[in-house]
């Protein structure tokens, strides 16, 4: 079976040089390995994803010289798949609703920070400080009946107890040079959100399901997602999904050394193309042979 690679952008903005690096690296590795390249649109965030970005992304990738298999998978077209997996985790007793608003959570974190710094996840966001896990079935029912919005969170302690010790095969490197069999540390993320009242999935849940359903054998993506792999391995084990190999790559930075963002136009591929840059020039600029 040929190896399967994928590039999985979110159509919530234009691609920049960092995306070009990731997409071209995936394409180069797929070609060298005689493998397949898939494109997946991670468009579950209906508030930020737009069809015009989906079109612009494919235009930019084709201009770079990429070819991918059709049809492109769009996560928004597969919500029932994620819902079913969420139900499975729920049936295992690993999911609970948390009704606190973002503002309430921010207040709870501020109060805890005042008493000594409250722990942060690997992305720097405070761990969930609430106690919704301990709500009685009756209280949950009452809140739910009131129509209040909620997030469905993974009971991390219970999930880890069930899944046991995990690691993953790192073929690239982590931010600290991690390589080889990397121990997963999902506890560092706390009770992550798996879905919300109006969105039956999350990045973590849909990425592991899609990688498995699409037969992805090699996940090649930026180092900014290195630590998220701990959560992905946990969900793979809980849902009996195969673990792909991972290759996290360096991030392309701007002249000031900052990570690129979709909102800075200076490094957007469409702008560079309009300014006369060639695909070969892009490769050179991001250090790809
Ligand atoms: N959709 C994610 C992003 O655009 C990438 C997901 C992944 O490669 O696992 O950052």
- Atom number of ligand 1 nearest to Cα 221: 8
Place of tokens 């070969």: 280
Closest Cα to atom 10, ligand 1: which residue?
Answer: 9
Pocket test for ligand 1, best of 207, 222, 227 (most atoms within 8 A of CB): 207
**Pocket flag, ligand 1, residue 222 (CB < 6 Å):** no
Which residues have C-beta within 8 Å of that of residue 37, sequence separation ≥ 6?
5, 6, 7, 26, 27, 30, 66, 67, 68, 69
Contact yes or no for 283/24 (Cβ under 8 A): yes
In this structure, how many other beta carbons lie within 10 angstroms of the beta carbon of residue 193? 19
Site to substitute for ligand 1 among 5, 6, 7, 8, most atoms within 8 A of C-beta: 8
Domains located in the chain, CATH noted: 4-93+155-286 (3.40.50.620)
User: What average pLDDT does the segment 126-137 reach?
Assistant: 95
pTM: 0.96
- The answer, yes or no, to whether any atom of ligand 1 lies below 6 A from the CB of 9, is yes
Per cent of the chain over pLDDT 70 is 100
pLDDT for the residue numbered 15: 97
| Pairing outcome for strands 193-196 and 151-154 | antiparallel
Half-sphere exposure of 152 (CA within 13 A, CB side): 22
The 10s digit of each residue's pLDDT in 215-263 is: 999 999 999 999 999 999 999 999 999 999 999 999 999 888 888 888 7
């Amino acid at each position: 079976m040929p190896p399967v690679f994928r590039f999985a952008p979110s159509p919530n903005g234009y691609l920049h040089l960092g995306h070009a690096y990731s997409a071209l690296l995936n394409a180069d590795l797929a070609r060298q390995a005689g493998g397949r390249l898939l494109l997946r649109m991670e468009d579950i965030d209906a508030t930020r994803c737009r069809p015009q970005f989906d079109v612009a992304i494919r235009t930019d990738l084709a201009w770079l010289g990429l070819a991918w298999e059709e049809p492109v998978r769009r996560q928004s077209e597969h919500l029932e798949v994620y819902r079913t997996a969420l139900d499975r985790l729920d049936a295992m007793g690993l999911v609970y609703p948390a009704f606190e608003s973002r503002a309430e959570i921010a207040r709870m974190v501020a109060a805890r920070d005042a008493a000594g710094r409250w722990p942060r996840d690997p992305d720097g966001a405070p761990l969930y400080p609430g106690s919704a896990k301990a709500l009685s079935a009756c209280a949950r029912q009452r809140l739910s009946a009131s129509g209040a919005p909620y997030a469905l969170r993974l009971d991390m302690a219970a999930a880890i107890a069930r899944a046991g010790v995990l690691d993953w095969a790192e073929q690239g490197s982590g931010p600290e040079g991690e390589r080889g069999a990397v121990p997963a540390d999902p506890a560092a993320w706390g009770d992550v959100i798996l879905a919300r009242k109006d969105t039956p999935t999350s990045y973590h849940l849909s990425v592991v399901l899609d990688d498995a359903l699409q037969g992805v054998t090699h996940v090649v993506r930026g180092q900014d997602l290195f630590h998220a792999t701990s959560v992905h391995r946990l969900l793979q084990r809980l849902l009996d999904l195969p673990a792909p190999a991972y290759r996290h790559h360096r991030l392309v930075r701007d002249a000031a050394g900052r990570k690129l963002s979709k909102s800075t136009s200076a490094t957007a591929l469409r702008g560079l193309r309009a300014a006369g840059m060639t695909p070969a020039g892009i490769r050179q600029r991001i250090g790809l042979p």
